[in-house]
Chain A
């Protein structure tokens, strides 16, 4: 039995224990490794991807249009181990790719291309499953791909967000065009899994990462550079563009101190754009365009700036298509009246419904490049 006579000593001891607990908690990894980390399953999936000759590459590149013939089936069979790991990973709730963002723009992201490849193979298999009336398996494959996409884009750079959008778009296209062939039970499974997808990336988090691990990394690199050969610190950014040669751009920066200052003056650009990304699309587009105009002709702008308005539009279109897909599943399960539960993020009411010869269309008020975002849904099977 512990007896403590002095209250002060006791309080000090308790404070010590609390401090110890807090220190331990602060240093816990955000995602604990082991069987809860989906990335460990995905990396194994990547290692099991089948060897690709030119013909197979063509099949994968055109996964949505190639005939599902003997060669395609053989490729699907060769991918089965990789797809098993995809499914295992997609059943987990967290994903830590182990990216060391402190590597800045030199950060290696080998998972982006591999995830895209794995997703295409899964969707090719979903096509085959739908052809053989196995919509339950197809629903699983499509949902697995969407989980992977969200994990790829989560807490990453703008490039990761674009790859997430690209993978999701492939899954939406297949699901929508073949939704009519899903059995009601499979539709319910799909609806359930669509409602439980992990959080993917956002433009705001991508911009914060770009500022911290791209801009600040470059500033630190320049500061650490030799006074005489500081230009070499910028070498990773070297690219021939219509905006001028790398050497000409570096010449404008004149000195190391000047270069550091120019990069530092870019901080408000990222901060303002991050704030703008929370505003309505029209506001973002006009103000972001102004912001880009202000910065894009600076030396640093020419070296570093991506077209974030395009990234914003692509991501917004993907989010809208996701809502359209969920609405389409609900319409197939319970009729067009269900649309009242799916407000159009870009409008004041629900999505528009229009029957067509091939099934029906759901339309958002959102327009990208002057065209409305539409989801064409295939006819139900007879």
Chain B
């Protein structure tokens, strides 16, 4: 019976792997025959210590970060725009009123009491009997 031979199959058959060099074969055999070394295994208590120490460090880092965030306000971050007149309900406005007289302070507090909480209005100075121009 004639057997039909596919040329591609014939070519593939010719591509057999080369024999390994004897030296390499010997090295592989000796490496495989050595007893397997186990990777170092951490003691359970060390794992606990490591985990707890990492957790403590994380807590410290978060605490420090929070502390910085809380203390971030500085003179440069005042809610009052630089160069603008102090609002009527600011410390300095009350200090100025008191420097004039206790009655001026009372009048300013009265004016602020009836003003809705929010941005200041210059009229409050007039209500308080103070000259708005003297405050600029």
The segment from A72-80, A134-142, A232-240, A336-344 that touches chain B is: A232-240
Is B49 in contact with A306, judged by CB distance below 8 angstroms?
no
- Taking CB as reference atom, which chain B residue is nearest A214? B91
Is A23 in contact with B49, judged by CB distance below 8 angstroms?
no
Is B63 in contact with A237, judged by CB distance below 8 angstroms?
no
Is B53 in contact with A27, judged by CB distance below 8 angstroms?
no
The segment from A217-225, A271-279, A370-378 that touches chain B is: A217-225
Partner of B79, one of A103, A220, A224: A103
Residues in A neighbouring B83, C-beta threshold 8 A? 232, 235
Within 8 A of A (CB), among B61-92: 63-64, 66-67, 70-71, 73-80, 83, 86-87, 89-92
Chain B contact patch, size range: 35 or more
Residues in B neighbouring A163, C-beta threshold 8 A? 109
Residues in A neighbouring B55, C-beta threshold 8 A? 20
Within 8 A of A (CB), among B38-62: 44-45, 48-49, 52-53, 55-57, 59-60
Contact with B along A54-69 (1 / 0, CB 8 A): 0001001100000000
B99 to chain A, nearest CB (A): 7
Query: Would you call B134 an interface residue if the criterion is a C-beta within 8 Å of the partner chain's C-beta atoms?
Result: yes
The segment from A108-116, A187-195, A348-356 that touches chain B is: A108-116
Please report the C-alpha to C-alpha distance between residue A135 and residue B10 in the assembled complex, in whole angstroms. 116
Contact with B along A202-218 (1 / 0, CB 8 A): 00000000000010010
Residues in B neighbouring A248, C-beta threshold 8 A? none
The segment from A3-11, A84-92, A175-183 that touches chain B is: A3-11
Query: Would you call B114 an interface residue if the criterion is a C-beta within 8 Å of the partner chain's C-beta atoms?
Result: yes
Query: Would you call A13 an interface residue if the criterion is a C-beta within 8 Å of the partner chain's C-beta atoms?
Result: yes
Is A106 in contact with B67, judged by CB distance below 8 angstroms?
no
Known pairs A106-B80, A106-B92; A220 contacts B52 (CB<8 A): no
Within 8 A of B (CB), among A1-36: 2-5, 9, 12-13, 16-17, 19-20, 23-24, 26-27, 29
Residues in B neighbouring A117, C-beta threshold 8 A? 113-114
Residues in A neighbouring B74, C-beta threshold 8 A? 102, 220
Within 8 A of B (CB), among A239-270: 239-241
Please report the C-alpha to C-alpha distance between residue A103 and residue B80 in the assembled complex, in whole angstroms. 9
Is B96 in contact with A100, judged by CB distance below 8 angstroms?
no
Contact with B along A93-122 (1 / 0, CB 8 A): 000000010111111111011101100000
Known pairs A102-B74, A104-B78; A17 contacts B135 (CB<8 A): no
- Cross-chain pair count, CB within 8 angstroms: 143
Is B94 in contact with A109, judged by CB distance below 8 angstroms?
yes
Partner of A106, one of B44, B60, B90, B102: B90
Chain A contact patch, size range: 35 or more
Is A108 in contact with B63, judged by CB distance below 8 angstroms?
no
Is B79 in contact with A108, judged by CB distance below 8 angstroms?
yes
Please report the C-alpha to C-alpha distance between residue A4 and residue B115 in the assembled complex, in whole angstroms. 66
Known pairs A13-B52, A24-B63, A232-B83; A109 contacts B89 (CB<8 A): yes
Residues in A neighbouring B115, C-beta threshold 8 A? 113
Partner of B67, one of A26, A47, A107: A26
Within 8 A of A (CB), among B106-123: 106, 108-115, 117
Residues in A neighbouring B112, C-beta threshold 8 A? 110, 112-114
B113 to chain A, nearest CB (A): 4
Query: Would you call A52 an interface residue if the criterion is a C-beta within 8 Å of the partner chain's C-beta atoms?
Result: yes
- Taking CB as reference atom, which chain A residue is nearest B54? A16
Query: Would you call A46 an interface residue if the criterion is a C-beta within 8 Å of the partner chain's C-beta atoms?
Result: yes
Residues in A neighbouring B113, C-beta threshold 8 A? 60, 113-114, 116-117
Contact with B along A38-58 (1 / 0, CB 8 A): 000000001100001000010
Q: List 5 A-B contacts (CB under 8 A).
A: A4-B45, A17-B56, A19-B56, A20-B55, A307-B98
Question: What 6 A-B pairs are tightest by C-beta distance, nearest first?
Answer: A113-B112, A23-B63, A117-B113, A102-B73, A105-B92, A16-B56
- A binding-site residues for B, Cβ under 8 Å: 2-5, 9, 12-13, 16-17, 19-20, 23-24, 26-27, 29, 46-47, 52, 57, 60-61, 100, 102-110, 112-114, 116-117, 157, 159, 162-163, 166, 214, 217, 220-221, 224, 232, 235-241, 306-307, 310
